[in-house]
Structure 1
Amino acid sequence: MKKKFSTSATKTELAKKGFSYKWRALSCTSIGGFFSLASANTITIALKDIIKDLNVSIGLVTWIVMVYMFVVTISVPMFAKISDTYGRKKLFESGLLLFACGSLFAGFSFSGYQIILARVVQSFGTALILANSVPIIADSFPENEIGKALGINSMMVNTSYVFAPILGGFLCGIGGWRAVFLGNVPIALLALLWSVKQLKEQEFVVKEHIIDWKGSIFFTISMFLFLLVINLGGFIGWLSHLIIGLALLSIIFGLLFYQVEKKSSEPMIDLSLIRNIRLLFAYLCIFLSSTSRGTITFLLVIYFQLVKNIDPVLIGLTFLPYCIAITFIAPISGSLSDKYGERGLSSAGLLIMAFGFIGLGMINLGTSTWLIVFWMFLIGIGFGMFNSPNTSSIMKIAPVDKRAVASGIRTMFLNSGSAISIALCISIVSSFVSNENLKKLFVGMEISMQEMSYGQFINGLKTTFIIAFCLCIIAVLLSFSRKTSHSYEKRLSKKENITLKH
């Protein structure tokens, strides 16, 4: 069935608006993407106050952080499909409204469960924003400028991950943990008003998409069970019957998801892209680097609060060199990869990240804050050097008509890594410190043998960072084993030339 949007503008009409409209549309998607994704990590710096104020357990705190990226990961593919049916502008603005409502609800919550529910509402809003941002940009820019516009939008979205601790520290320092949520509300509402005024729906004919509900449900269950395994393993033992049972169920639902995707006419994940070994390695690299990088923004914030007793605003500032490194190195690395290829730069970036994690793996109670900032800065340089060439490699390898899908799969791997890293951090630390003592350390309560408890906490940090180092080394090997990527157009041209010669 085909459907025509009832809209106010066609792409030709929008193009006639020239510079003015396309950049206003880009400003809408960039602002929405930046603040909605920043909210995923701003919460970390407020966890200590949430535990103390609401008497929340460590296990529940993990889900307060983790549920956001989990819901975003599973819902973006579904929302991307319905945007072709119901219109990008309407769904994008609905996402901003949902994000504002979720933030308001979280800011006035009085229990950990209420915050989790509010975070789910927030994350559905974020998923709607992200799923419609790329199509809005593609609808607003002429064909020869879409790549540049997507690059700017991607830079803004990626920057949100690294600037989140700074923003969270500032808000928490001013008004406590509730301000971290309530501060989103006026920004989201202003972004909504700006979008309502500036965005125009495009007129075009589309077919009704079939949403892969069965595949989406199996994927959701499999990932949820996997996160439970990682989250609970440190508390109740990795070889306990419950953990083994949950792990087996996660694998079973994962296999069911794979079988459904093979038969689906419109699968949640295009398996033809995953079967390409170079694309698969690129996706695994972004997953491993995202999992490793997530340990920094989560564990170091806690370390600075518990061990160093640093003010939230100052904690945010300690992340500034790390943020600057990623922001400035990424575009330089992207330009260099166009000249010298992606494999070398991506691999070198991952190797630099690994060295940074080795440094963090030697952390102790007396480690200088400046030294920790240096290792973070090194990891920022590494990720900035890796990310742009790796993304470019994905776009070059993927067929032209599947680049949007390939980009969506990349985002799914990125977000999955972020969600898993939180569960991994808590699980490893809880293997060294009891749940009760860890909670007491969070709220600053006196406990017997407190120095030993801090020492155990540090051992958990060191172990986590060593595991992050190992993940980076695996990513280096995967990245370096790839051949240099040529664009789909170049490969097609070569095939045509060979055919002509014969």
Structure 2
Amino acid sequence: MILVDKDVNNSKKFTEEVGLPNQTFKNVKKALAWLSFLAFFSVLNETVFNVALPDIAKQFVVPPAVANWVNTSFILSFSIGSAIYGKISDMYGIKKLLIIGLLTYSAGSLFGILAYAYLPAIIAARFIQGAGASAVPALIMVIIARHVRSEDRGKAFGLVGSLVAVGEGMGPVIGGMIAHYVHWSFLFIIPMMTLVSIPFFLKVLPNESVSKGQIDILGVLLLSIGIVMFTLYTMQYNWIYIVISVVLFVGFSLHIRRAKEPFIEPSLFRKRKFIIGVLTGCILLGTVAGFISMVPYMMRDVHQLTTVMIGSGIIFPGTMSVIVFGIIGGTLVDKRGNTFVLSLGLFLSIFSFLIISLFLDETPWLMTGMLIFTFGGLSFIKTVISNSVADSLEPEEAGAGMGMLNFACFLSEGIGIAVVGGMLTKRTLDFPLLPTVENAASFLYSNVLLVFIIVMTIGWALYTLAFRRK
């Protein structure tokens, strides 16, 4: 969920403050090709491992709560890194940060392929990958804003956005094919392809002047460790983790009120609609992310599908439908308003959850059709949350506010995956409930889907109470 506003505002402010001329690429088509290339591979790695999680769990003989950390660790560092790179791009320059990010991304990939036989190393490699990959979405929009001619920017933003959507869609397909026909560990090789773009950006990006500033290191550490502790709690349900996380979050809250340049602006927490909009986005997007992470386990346990079939036959059609639904959602928001579109998106998602929950036993292809509704609803939800949060902010708050939205929603997706992993491991909901579900392998998944419906309904109620006039 990456928005343009934050980076464009920062780039304009930076240019005005330090007097940097608006540099342009001489070969715009070549520049756009390389930027799109980076955008594609940065988001591809968010989804490429998803279909391989059951294979990883089987190889290491671990429950889903542990295996899901292969994705959770990437998303946690990706979300935190995105916020950090966005804040320090004016301080250190885009060129240096982008190269560091790409090298870190590839270093994590190399470490992963070399240490694939040791699960803690795999999780660490994914964490390193996320820290490097986060530089791409955080900086790519700034590059376009600063170094692409104004008459070509619309084309650039549109092209990059399209490649992001395609990357998200192709991830499960590529991941499924490699995991099935070769081995899941070879998925670590894919991000190393981004190294071929480094010579181009070293040549064309200028060595920018930098502005003075400081990084709120203490704030980053307090928040990051607190998030990790909370996520560990969702995996093991050990009260020590939740106590530590609460202490760290309280410490972070006190710290940002005193820091000169806090990691998150404390004034944003006093804006009711903004906070509820972000919280709603976290609830809804985290729930859908958790559901998507559960699909491979569900299809493997209930219908014994192969990894390649899950990726290409089950998940791929739904992910690609996001492109179409994204266009429709933007048009509907302008014509019918935020509340209508959010309600429509939630209806599509909840409808798909209910049908899957009721008829999970029948055929795996039911999941293919329902995932189109799920991803369509997700596209509507993202559009509305972005629009609603933006409307709740003053122009001077747009950069910090939209950056916080991106950060929070990325985090919620990682936490959602961890929570679902914990639910599948604890198996508290593994009992017959719905009369239409007779296969014992389906009980747990069917009941978890009912929990998703309840959580999504709570998110809808929270939004309508705050934005009912919209």
Distance in 1 between the 2:340 and 2:228 partners?
35
One of 214, 220, 224 as aligned partner of 1:216: 220
**Counterpart in 2 of 1:493?**
none
Kindly provide the amino acid, as one letter, of the partner of residue 445 in structure 2.
L
Corresponding residue to 1:413 among 408, 433, 456:
408
Secondary structure of 1:208 counterpart = coil
Counterparts of residues 99-498 of structure 1 (less than 5 Å)? 99-109=105-115, 110-141=117-148, 149-150=156-157, 152-157=159-164, 159-185=166-192, 187-197=193-203, 199-201=204-206, 203-204=208-209, 206-233=210-237, 243-317=238-312, 318-364=314-360, 366-432=361-427, 458-483=442-467
> Unaligned regions of 5+ residues in structure 1, if any?
234-242, 435-453, 487-502
CA pair 195-455 structure 1, distance change in 2 beyond 3 A: farther
CA distance in 2 between partners of 1:148 and 1:261 (Å): 39
Q: Which amino acid aligns with 1:367?
A: E
The Cα shift of 1:380 comes to 1.5
SS at 1:266 equivalent:
coil
d(CA) in 2 for partners of 1:456, 1:42: 29
Counterpart contact for 1:170–1:313, Cα < 8 Å: yes
Which residue in the other structure is 2:432 paired with? none
- State yes or no: 1:14 paired with 2:24: yes
Deviation at 1:183, TM superposition (A): 2.7
Give 2:457's aligned amino acid.
Answer: I
> Does the aligned pair in 2 maintain the 1:393–1:485 contact within 8 Å?
no
Cα displacement string for residues 172-205 of structure 1 (whole angstroms, at most 9, x for unaligned residues): 23321122212332x22233344335x423645x
CA shift in 2, pair 1:415/1:334, >3 Å: same
1:340 Cα deviation from its structure 2 partner: 3.3
CA shift digits 1:380-428 (9 cap, x unpaired): 2211222223213333333333323222212112211211112111211
Change (3 A) 1:399 1:141: farther
Amino acid at match of 1:114: A
Choose from 98, 103, 108 the match for 2:104: 98
Seen in structure 2, the aligned counterparts of structure 1 residues 67 and 139 have a Cα distance that, compared at 3 Å, is: same
Q: Is the 8 A contact 1:356 1:376 kept in 2?
A: yes
Deviation at 1:329, TM superposition (A): 0.8
- The one-letter code sitting in structure 2 at the alignment partner of 1:126 is A
TM-score, with normalisation over the residues of structure 1?
A: 0.80
Moved more, 114-123 or 149-158: 149-158
Of 61, 70, 74 in structure 1, the residue corresponding to residue 76 of structure 2 is 70
Distance 1:327 1:59, change over 3 A: same
Q: Which amino acid aligns with 1:218?
A: L
- d(CA) in 1 for partners of 2:355, 2:136: 37
Would you say the 8 A contact 1:342–1:485 is kept in 2? no
Whole-Å separation in 2 of the counterparts to 1:180 and 1:301: 17
CA drift at 1:227: 0.6
For 2:125 and 2:136, the matched residues in 1 are separated by 17
Report the residue type matching 2:71 in the other structure. V
Code of the aligned partner of 1:346: L
Determine if contact 2:166/2:320 at 8 Å carries over to the other structure: no
Q: CA deviation at 1:11?
A: 3.9
RMSD of aligned Cα (Å): 3.0
Deviation of 1:57 after TM superposition, in Å, equals: 5.9
Is the contact between residue 76 and residue 128 of structure 1 (CA under 8 Å) also seen in structure 2?
A: yes
**Which shows bigger deviation, 247-256 or 140-149?**
140-149
C-alpha separation in 2, matches of 1:344 and 1:147 = 28
Partner Cα distance (2:52, 2:456) in 1: 28
Which residue number in structure 2 is paired with residue 450 of structure 1? none
Q: Retained in 2: the 8 A contact 1:11–1:203?
A: no
| Cα pair 1:36 1:99 within 8 Å, conserved | no
- The DSSP-based 3-state class of the residue aligned with 1:307 is helix
What SS does structure 2 have at the residue aligned with 1:183?
helix
For 1:83 and 1:296, the matched residues in 2 are separated by 34
Count of paired positions: 445
Secondary structure in 2 aligned to 1:14?
Answer: coil
The code of the aligned residue for 1:418 comes to E
- Aligned position for 2:46: 40
Q: Distance in 1 between matches of 2:212 and 2:344?
A: 44
Q: Secondary structure at the match of 2:68?
A: helix
Which AA in structure 2 matches 1:168? G
Structure 1 residue 87, shift from structure 2 partner: 0.9
Distance (whole Å) between structure 2 residues aligned to residue 460 and residue 96 of structure 1? 40
> In the TM superposition, what is the alpha-carbon distance from 1:280 to its structure 2 partner?
1.8
Aligned runs of 1:44-55 on 2, under 5 Å? 44-55=50-61
Q: Which runs of 5+ in 2 are unaligned?
A: 1-13, 430-437
Percent identity between the aligned chains? 22
Judged with a 3 Å threshold, the aligned counterparts in structure 2 of structure 1 residues 307 and 361 are, in CA distance, closer, same or farther, namely: closer
**Per-residue CA shift, 1:121-170, capped at 9, x if unaligned?**
21111122232223222212456876775465445435544442122112
Q: 2:3 matched to which residue of 1?
A: none
Pairwise CA distance, 1:322:
0.9
- Assess if the C-alpha contact under 8 Å between 1:292 and 1:468 holds in 2: yes
Structure label with greater radius of gyration: 1
